[in-house]
Chain A
Amino acid sequence: GNSVTQMEGPVTLSEEAFLTINCTYTATGYPSLFWYVQYPGEGLQLLLKATKADDKGSNKGFEATYRKETTSFHLEKGSVQVSDSAVYFCALKGFQKLVFGTGTRLLVSP
């Protein structure tokens, strides 16, 4: 079945550092890919998405490119802020339900 694998956290960075959170997937067909973010005490919010190979999703300075050849959808940001501290979930949507990775906690210190 469809599955998503994310890097283990927590990822600890200083403010203005470069961020990469790795995500790889296993799926049949051509899934859509997503990054969701969960801030403390809140539900998940859609951060960005890509629906086909080579698409780049972007939002709030975050980017991820749908790489079919490496089955990856890594999340990047050039300069993180303390307010980016949250849990980030990679997800894929095949024919039916949305499947989430286990989440990666990001901690950004001043």
Chain B
Amino acid sequence: KAGVTQTPRYLIKTRGQQVTLSCSPISGHRSVSWYQQTPGQGLQFLFEYFSETQRNKGNFPGRFSGRQFSNSRSEMNVSTLELGDSALYLCASSLVNARVTNTGELFFGEGSRLTVL
């Protein structure tokens, strides 16, 4: 069974640009969560999607947005990039049903490493 796939793996942008990251979950997983990982802040929760609906959201500004498609694939977008947005963005999928937000058992991709210059 294929794991969680994130693209692109590496990208470099300049301040003010925008970026879109993609995540394909494990087949059958309908929940997708996004995390930002930085050396200073560790792992910070961005948002979680289930069946194309955002169910949870972390404390990030509105420049960070996401969506989920009917095939459970997800994208996140960061607009007006700042230097502090440089990070590893991790996507994780989970096998849950509509009643359970998630079990805590997440399957992570390898991440998309964003560098903002």
Cα A95 to Cα B100 in complex, Å, equals: 9
- For residue B58, which residues in chain A have a CB less than 8 angstroms away from its CB? 97
Within 8 A of A (CB), among B98-114: 101-111
Other-chain residue from B56, B103, B104 in contact with A91 (beta carbon distance below 8 A): B104
| A46 B42 Cβ-Cβ under 8 A | no
Within 8 A of B (CB), among A4-36: 32, 34
- For residue A34, which residues in chain B have a CB less than 8 angstroms away from its CB? 104-105
| A43 B45 Cβ-Cβ under 8 A | no
A49-B104 in contact given A97-B48, A99-B45 (Cβ < 8 Å): yes
| A93 B102 Cβ-Cβ under 8 A | yes
Within 8 A of B (CB), among A41-56: 41-46, 49
Cα A101 to Cα B109 in complex, Å, equals: 19
Cα A43 to Cα B110 in complex, Å, equals: 4
- For residue A99, which residues in chain B have a CB less than 8 angstroms away from its CB? 45
| B90 A43 Cβ-Cβ under 8 A | yes
Per-position binary interface string of chain A over residues 92-110, scored 1 when its CB falls under 8 Å from any chain B CB and 0 otherwise: 1101111111110000000
Per-position binary interface string of chain B over residues 75-117, scored 1 when its CB falls under 8 Å from any chain A CB and 0 otherwise: 0000000000000001010000000011111111111000000
| A89 B43 Cβ-Cβ under 8 A | yes
Confirm or deny: B4 has a beta carbon within 8 angstroms of a beta carbon on chain A.
Answer: yes
Cα A73 to Cα B64 in complex, Å, equals: 33
* Chain B residue nearest in CB terms to A94: B104
* Chain B residue nearest in CB terms to A4: B42
Per-position binary interface string of chain B over residues 2-43, scored 1 when its CB falls under 8 Å from any chain A CB and 0 otherwise: 001000000000000000000000000000010100000011
Chain A nearest Cβ from B47, distance in angstroms: 9
Chain A nearest Cβ from B4, distance in angstroms: 7
Cα A103 to Cα B38 in complex, Å, equals: 11
Per-position binary interface string of chain A over residues 53-71, scored 1 when its CB falls under 8 Å from any chain B CB and 0 otherwise: 0000000000000000000
Other-chain residue from A49, A97, A102 in contact with B42 (beta carbon distance below 8 A): A102
Cα A49 to Cα B42 in complex, Å, equals: 20
